[in-house]
Amino acid sequence: MKISRRSLARGLAAAGTETLKVTARVYGDGSLPFTFTKGRDSQQLSWSNGRGDVDGEGSYDRMHGSTWDKPGCTSPAKSTKKIEIAKPIPARGEKMRRAIDWFATLASLALVAAGVCAAQSVIRPGEPWLDSRGQRIQAHGGGITVWKGTYYWFGEDRSQANDPEKRYVACYLSRDLVHWKFRRQVLVLADPEHLGPHWVLERPKVFANPSTGKFVMYAHLDDAPYKLARVMVAVSNRIDGTYTYVRSFRPLDEESRDIGQFVDDDGSAYLIFESRPTKGFFLAKLTGDLMSVEKTSFIPAPLEGGALVHYGNLYYVVGSHMTGWRPNPNVYATAPALTGPWTEFKNLAPPEANNYDSQSTMLLKVKGSKTTTVIFMGDIWRPRELWDSRYVWMPLEMDDGSMHLPPPQLWTLNVKTGESAIQANGK
């Protein structure tokens, strides 16, 4: 792309801004007004088209090159090069650095204009993961719900600004599993059962009921010493709307602490819950209205952080040992059916790697037009600063009954084809 003197001047003028408004005619399908917001603690850049959906979100990273994605972009050849700054905001300093950023951004737009429609985006395990506002994603111990072709990530919101008396669940949406738009704190709950100080709401998971269009959130509810051991249920009419607390109970009348979620290929939904007295995971099928559970299976292994996936002809279950927030080598077993028989548990990664300091929360299957990737979703907990807890998402190496978690590295994912690839310059 050729940068004219005029655009150079404009770039410099814009270089000190936090927000840049530009008009970018990039896909040949009309001129879209984008608002760009630059993350404060990284070079991540996000934008929206003002209509409240995620079209056009992406990121730019000074260290690792740039990505510029438009999910669903199919006609890059029609792209044009017109880019102009509509409304720069006065500079606040650091002009040179921001100028570099700005021209690199122009360069990435130029790539799009030249017909590079990258459907791939980079996932950076262990690094701060920023949402479309440039803020840390707060979705710890989380789960993903797929609804109408969009991914919704729910998890514990441990933001520093939260009221310490309340517990929060945040919701983000994405179409590529990389760029996440913050929707809202869908649950803001005051102690619902007189549990007392330091009461616990952890590992929220949301299930969708396609026949009623209703959404049901489960979460681990507890008192400070973790003696209550129940699940709570909250409901909403919109997946990313406000959830209303309904009740808490012990599923199957068993103690229930860490919970996980699993939706089988036939749409059946399951709650995975850890039961300490019986030393194992219950796989409990949700009832038709999703408001309760019925027993499906029990896996005798004293594990938590339960996650499950169906891949090939096998079910794979993953769990962590019970060391609280401290990481440990996570393990997996397989079975031909949910009712078993389950194999012995084996290590997911070399035990000395300590699961790369992460703990399992979910296994997400991304089935595309070419292949299927199973993503290990784990949490790197920082108990003293839970808000700063990180995520390890990595594509699992799966082969006929074996499952291996590779070391955290940069990798790309294409949700359309299902392809994932660890980047050559990986770290």
Q: How many chain residues bind ligand GAL (CB under 6 A)? A: 9
Identify residues 104-163 at the interface with ligand GAL (CB under 6 A): 141
**Residue 295 DSSP SS3:** strand
By rule CB under 6 A, what string of x and - marks binding of each residue 259-278 to ligand GAL? --------------------
Cβ-contact 283, 297 below 8 angstroms: yes
Residues numbered 348-387 forming contacts with ligand GAL, rule: CB under 6 A: 359
Work out whether 175 is an interface residue with ligand GAL (CB under 6 A): no
Which token pair is 13? 């003028």
Site of tokens 């749409």: 267
Q: Which of 38, 98, 183, 203 binds ligand GAL (CB under 6 A)?
A: 203
Closer to ligand GAL at the Cβ: 54 or 200?
200
Could you tell me which residues come within 8 angstroms of residue 424 by beta carbon, excluding any fewer than 6 positions away? none
Which residue lies nearer to ligand GAL by CB, 26 or 283? Answer: 283
Task: Pick between residue 153 and residue 411 the one whose CB is nearest to ligand GAL.
Answer: 153
Q: Which residue is nearest to ligand GAL (CB)?
A: 324
C-beta atoms surrounding 356 within 10 Å: 21
* Long-range contacts from 111-114, C-beta under 8 angstroms, 24+ separation: 111/66, 111/68, 112/26, 112/27, 112/68, 112/70, 112/76, 112/79, 113/1, 113/26, 113/79, 113/80, 113/81, 113/83, 114/1, 114/79
Q: Considering only CA atoms, which of 382, 409, 385 is closest in space to residue 395? A: 409
Of residues 101 and 357, the one with the C-beta less far from ligand GAL: 357
Nearest approach in angstroms of CB 251 to ligand GAL is: 17
Q: Is 305 in the site for ligand GAL (CB under 6 A)?
A: yes
Contact 276, 257 (CB under 8 A): yes
Q: How far is the CB of 260 from ligand GAL (least distance, A)?
A: 10
Q: Which of 136/140 has CB closer to ligand GAL? A: 140
Does the footprint of ligand GAL cover residue 304 (CB under 6 A)?
Answer: yes
Q: Which of 213, 312, 324, 351 touches ligand GAL (CB under 6 A)?
A: 324
- Using CB under 6 A as the binding rule, whether residue 202 contacts ligand GAL is answered as yes
Q: Which of 69, 258, 357, 419 binds ligand GAL (CB under 6 A)?
A: 258
Q: According to CB under 6 A, which one of 133, 224, 313, 325 is a site residue for ligand GAL? A: 325
Share of the chain residues as helix, strand and coil, in percent rounded to the nearest 5: 10, 40, 45
Residue type, 227: K
Calculate the CA 230 to chain-centre distance. Answer: 25
Where on the chain is the footprint of ligand GAL (CB under 6 A)?
141, 202-203, 258, 304-305, 324-325, 359
